[in-house]
Amino acid sequence: MPQVVSFGAHIADALGWPFTAVPPGQQLAPLEQIRFTVAGTAAAPSVNLAKLGVDVASVGRVGADTIGDFVRTTMTGYGVNVDHLLTDPDRQTSASLLPIRADGSRPALHVIGANAGLREEDVPWDVVAQAQVFHLGGLFVLPGIDGEPAGRILQRAKELGLTTTVDFLMSPRPDAVELLEPVLPHVDYLMPNIEEAGWIVGTEDRAEIITWLHGKGVGCTVLTLGGDGVSVARNGEAETVVPAFDVDVVDTTGCGDAFTSGFISGLLEGLDLIAAADRGLACGSLVATGLGSDAGIVDLAQVEEFRRTGRA
């Protein structure tokens, strides 16, 4: 049975690099690479957890289409259990077009697709009951889960004795606090990036963000800070900022999901909070060196060697 159940957003990404501008009319602009990868804040952590040697079951929905076949086959090839990856008969597989700029940043063009069909009853509770960690990835692009359903799911997972981790996939929206308030008391580790957390709280002040999230019941904030590393703070305690690794960035797609996988694998291994965050940063940094969410990470030994040698 899996150590981790990763529930939520499953997306196929089409990435082009390096992107400079949309050519006018029907003109052609050459790129050096185009890749197709499995992505999404539930699927991408599943792939990287499998690379790190963790038994993981990925739960979500894809469409009855060739894109869904690609997601299912690719994840299986990495060793992810997709027995509970459901096929939605009415919606296409969620997908994104990502033109990657030379500095690694990118806009995103997205079809929500089958992720919109995910429901509370899709959780395989017999499988969850035998796992150690329940990861919910993709709040704000899961309209059938967002709000009260997500709160109930996480509450039940905690009652079964699992550690709960949560990440977002969002843009600013006026109902964000309303949707999050039922969720936050049941989250052991909340792992958005600092920009997303600021959108929620309405400030860029990190101390205010942490205080607000702790006040809503989050057990530990784990706020990724891009090139500045990650802020970790247990509820009621001061934050610690773990510094980032210095790498040549190709693409930032999936770096947060890679962080999630490294952090969760560290928790499962019994690493302390700072060491688990450091492993997460190593995973995120390695993914940034290639194109797509599945780039960079080979296995746990490679990640640990990078942790030992990769930081100046």
Q: How far apart are CA 114 and CA 45, in angstroms?
A: 19
pLDDT by residue (tens digit) across 43-92?
999 999 999 999 999 999 999 999 999 999 999 999 999 999 999 999 99
Torsion of CA 300, 301, 305, 306, to 10 degrees: -30
Dihedrals phi, psi of 152, to nearest 5 degrees:
-65, -40
Torsion of CA 165, 170, 172, 176, to 10 degrees: -50
What domains sit in the chain, N to C, each tagged with a CATH number? 4-9+33-309 (3.40.1190.20)
Angle at which helix 43-51 crosses helix 66-78, to 10 degrees, equals 30
Spell out a b/e string for 48-70, using b for 16 or more CB atoms within 10 Å of the CB, else e.
Answer: bbbbbebbbbbbbbbbebebbeb
Q: How far apart are CA 247 and CA 304, in angstroms?
A: 16
pLDDT by residue (tens digit) across 211-233?
999 999 999 999 999 889 999 99
Cβ contact 242:230 at 8 Å = yes
Q: How far apart are CA 85 and CA 249, in angstroms?
A: 32
Regions of the chain with pLDDT less than 70: 311-312
